[in-house]
Amino acid sequence: MQSFHKELWMNVPERMGFVNITSDVEQVLAESGIREGLCLVNAMHITASVFINDDEPGLHSDYKKWLEALAPHEPLSQYRHNLTGEDNGDAHHKRQIMGREVVVAVTEGKLHFGPWEQIFYGEFDGRRKKRLLIKIIGE
């Protein structure tokens, strides 16, 4: 069995945004040379997420509206976490909802997706650099 990993850096200019990283992950998979196995993609920061869904702008807009309704950014005083001097209590909750990572099967050297599936980086406290880890194991 082989193992391969690579870190990518993201810098989303908005506080909340979604970036399709499918082609980045496919490129790392090609670099790995692994043909059969599993590919893990995870956000290395506690206010960011990786998830799989459709690349449809209306859906992404709905996610933003839904997440903001579930965990609104303001008032800042609603989160005890913000008493530490932070202003991102909401971002921690949004990450918890959207998840930390995804695992995708690798078959014949390709990500083995269902229809319309794409991999996204979700940012909930943006405007700074954050890391993603791609770890592929297999043969």
Contacts of 99 (CB under 8 A, 6+ apart): 49, 50, 51
Residue 120's domain spans which residues?
Answer: 2-138
The first and second tokens of residue 131, run together, are 């890391």
pLDDT at 130: 98
Residue 109 belongs to a domain with what CATH number?
2.60.120.460
List, for the chain, all residue ranges whose pLDDT scores fall below the cut of 50: none
Predicted pLDDT at 60? 97
pLDDT, residue 105, reads 98
What pLDDT was estimated at residue 74? Answer: 97
Dist. CA 21–CA 52, nearest whole Å: 10
Eight-state DSSP code of residue 78: G
Q: What is the tally of structural domains in the chain? A: 1
pLDDT of residue 52: 98
* Distances, alpha carbon 65 to alpha carbons 23, 88, 125, in Å: 26, 17, 15
